[in-house]
Amino acid sequence: MSDIAAPARRESGLGALVRQARYVISENPVTGFAFALFVLIVLAAVLGPELVPYDPLASATSEALQPPNAHHWFGTDQLGRDVFSRVIVATRLDFFIAVASVALVFLMGGLAGVAAGFFGGWTDRIVGRIADTIMAFPLFVLAMGIVAALGNTVQNIVLATAIVNFPLYARIARAEANVRREAGFVEAARLSGNSDWRILTFQILPNVFPILVVQMSLTMGYAILNAAGLSFIGLGVRPPTPEWGIMVAEGSAFMVSGEWWNATFPGAALMVAVFCFNLLGDGLRDMVDPRRRT
């Protein structure tokens, strides 16, 4: 082991994170691009509703089904609503669905998995059986079932997405906790007077979290697609709420008759968002790896 130490670095956690973020982005332009796109999406979600030219809910049947033009950049839908405004405003809802689903599944799956991996025994078996039961269903069918049974509100869509992703998070968290359970620093923590619960929360969880974060960015994309899928079969968000999925669903009926803009623009937005989240996941993985690579 060399006695050369790495060069000194100011160690505020946030400062270090930002610095590494900047390094990763500079090394990998694709991640930089994804990150910029992400910022754009967040801005659209936060500021969109204030800045759009038209009220997304205001219908004006006289202007229905206009192709994209100078007044309506994305055209209008069958009720005369401006598609562009609706797409931008929908960002907030879809983003919320993504973030809420991911937060929920992290709490449920992450904590259950970590407990299962760390304690083993019955905890492990119970969590394992729950995960197996969920995985026995085709995931989308399960989501459909949950939303159909509980009613199609945004909360239930979020819950369904979380439940459907539970096994994946539980499995990842469990594996990571299992590996670290016998780690030297866990034993050292016991010697230092930490009870099992403290070890789980303060020693294991902070090490498992970064690995889950990468998964979380991928799940965000999935959550939006899931909501879109549910909307397509009528189990999603209720009209007239603007949401990309339901816009695609309603607009698809008009594709055949040539009014392509109704479905295409929200579909493109969907695609861009999911693409961005996936790319971000790759970049996050580089960023979050505690071992610096040369």
Partner 1 sequence: MTIAPTLSVEGLSVEFRTRGGTVRALESVSFSVEKGETIALVGESGSGKSVTAYAVMGILDPAGRVSAGRAMFGGLDLLAAKPSQLADVRGREIAMIFQNPRTALNPIRPVGRQIADVLIRHGNVPRREAPAQAIEMLRAVGITDPTRRAKAYPFEMSGGMCQRVMIAIALAAKPSLLIADEPTTGLDVTTQAVIMDLVNDLAKELGMATIFITHDLALAGQRSSRIVVMHAGHVVENAPTQELFEHPLHPYTAELIAATPDSAASLDELASIPGSLPDLRRADLPPCRYSERCPRRIDACAQPLPRPAPGASHIVACWNPLTAKPLAMRTPTESAA
Partner 2 sequence: MTMLLDVADVSKVFPVGGGPGTWARLKRRFAKGVQELPKVHAVDDVSFVIAKGETVGLVGESGCGKSTLVRALTRLIDVSDGTIRLGERELSRKAARVFARDPDRRRIQMVFQDAGESVNPRFTAFDAIADPLRRLRNMSGRELTARVEAVAAQCGLPLQLLTRFPHQLSGGQRARVGIARAIAVEPDLLVLDEPTAALDVSVQVVILKLLQRLKREFGMSYLFVSHDLSVVRLLCDRVLVMYLGKIVESGPAASVFEHPLHPYTQALVAAVPRIGEKGAERLRLSGEPMSPIDPDPSVCRFYSRCSRAADACKITMPALRRFGERAVACHFAEEFLPKP
Q: Which residues form the interface with partner 2 (CB under 8 A)?
A: 1-6, 8-11, 183-185, 187-196, 198, 203, 206-207, 290-292
Q: Closest approach of Cβ 16 to partner 1, in Å?
A: 15
Closest CA to 178 of 255, 109, 249, 120: 120
Of the candidate residues 3, 11, 50, 182, the single one contacting partner 1 (CB under 8 A): 3
Q: Closest approach of Cβ 250 to partner 2, in Å?
A: 48
Closer by beta carbon to partner 2, 27 or else 196: 196
Peptide bond into 53 cis (omega under 30): no
Binding flag, residue 7, partner 1 (CB under 8 A): yes
Q: Closest approach of Cβ 6 to partner 1, in Å?
A: 8
DSSP state of 4: P
Q: How far is residue 85's CA from residue 89's CA, in Å, rounded to a whole number?
A: 6
Q: How far is residue 279's CA from residue 28's CA, in Å, rounded to a whole number?
A: 11
Binding flag, residue 4, partner 1 (CB under 8 A): yes
Closest CA to 210 of 120, 119, 106: 106
Q: Closest approach of Cβ 283 to partner 1, in Å?
A: 17
Tell me which of partner 2, partner 1, none is bound by residue 191, counting a contact when its beta carbon lies within the kind-specific cut-off of 5 to 8 angstroms. partner 2
Tell me which of partner 1, partner 2, none is bound by residue 294, counting a contact when its beta carbon lies within the kind-specific cut-off of 5 to 8 angstroms. partner 1
Q: How far is residue 226's CA from residue 23's CA, in Å, rounded to a whole number?
A: 34
Task: Say whether 64 sits in a helix, a strand or coil.
Answer: coil
Instruction: Return the amino acid letter for 135.
Output: M
Closer by beta carbon to partner 2, 11 or else 50: 11
Tell me which of partner 1, partner 2, none is bound by residue 264, counting a contact when its beta carbon lies within the kind-specific cut-off of 5 to 8 angstroms. none
Q: Which residue has the tokens 């082991």?
A: 1
Q: How far is residue 282's CA from residue 294's CA, in Å, rounded to a whole number?
A: 18
Binding to partner 1, residues 274-293 (CB under 8 A): 292
Residues near partner 1 (CB under 8 A) are 1-4, 7, 23, 292, 294
